[in-house]
């Protein structure tokens, strides 16, 4: 319970400039923070493991596109420790990262969120004007998008 209270306090301090009405952690340890009025980052607290998972959607799902992005999960250093995931409930592709609450401070949380937010924004912008549901005859991701993705990694 102490870890949940600590996380709540840290999130409240962190989120106040972005999301002044930031919700309390739910009974299941969930909340969200909206940054710049456009990106909503989901925060899930695992009390048993005293860890936090943060998730942000970045693009509409396409199975072929998602399969290609899974290959990029090998480049986690370039993704600030995050990995691509499928958000089935919303039919979107998202980025997920996970960290322990051990020795977590507001400054450390700011650093983790900043790195995650930067990576999220870069990938969201990369897919912004590209229809991930359109594919070429080979039913694979369009070659220019594919090359852009791998060059980014």
User: Tens digit of pLDDT for each residue in 67-93?
Assistant: 888 888 887 777 878 999 999 889 999
Position 139 confidence tier, pLDDT thresholds 50, 70, 90: very low
Q: How many other CB atoms are there within 10 angstroms of residue 83's CB atom?
A: 17
State how far the Cα of 12 lies from the Cα of 94, in Å rounded to an integer.
24
Q: Taking the CA of residue 21 as centre, how many other CA atoms within 13 Å lie in the half-sphere pointing to its CB?
A: 1
Q: What is the pLDDT of residues 45-56, one digit of tens each?
A: 888 888 889 999
Q: How confident is the model at residue 15 (pLDDT cuts 50, 70, 90)?
A: low
Q: Where are the alpha helices (DSSP H) in the chain?
A: 2-15, 63-72, 106-128, 143-152
DSSP code at position 139: S
- DSSP code, position 62: -
pLDDT in the model for residue 86 = 92
User: 121 is written with which tokens?
Assistant: 């924004």
pTM (predicted TM-score): 0.73
Mean pLDDT for all residues in the chain: 77
The fold adopted by the segment(s) 2-152 is: Yope Regulator; Chain: A, (3.30.1460)
* pLDDT tens-digit map of 93-124: 999 999 888 887 878 888 888 888 888 888 88
Provide the residue ranges of all domains of the chain, joining segments of one domain with +: 2-152
């Amino acid at each position: 319970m102490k870890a949940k209270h600590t996380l709540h306090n840290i999130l409240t301090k962190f989120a106040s400039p972005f999301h002044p009405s930031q919700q309390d952690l739910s009974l299941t340890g969930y909340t969200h923070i909206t940054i710049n009025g456009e990106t909503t980052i989901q925060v899930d607290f695992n009390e048993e493991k005293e860890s936090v998972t943060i998730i942000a959607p970045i693009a509409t799902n396409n199975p072929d596109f998602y399969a290609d992005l899974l290959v990029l999960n090998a480049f986690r250093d370039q993704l600030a420790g995050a990995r691509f995931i499928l958000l089935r409930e919303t039919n979107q592709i998202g980025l997920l990262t996970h960290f322990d609450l051990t020795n977590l401070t507001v400054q450390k949380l700011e650093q983790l969120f900043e790195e995650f937010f930067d990576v999220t924004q870069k990938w969201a912008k990369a897919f912004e004007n590209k229809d991930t549901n359109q594919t070429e005859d080979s039913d694979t991701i369009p070659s220019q998008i594919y090359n852009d993705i791998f060059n980014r990694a």
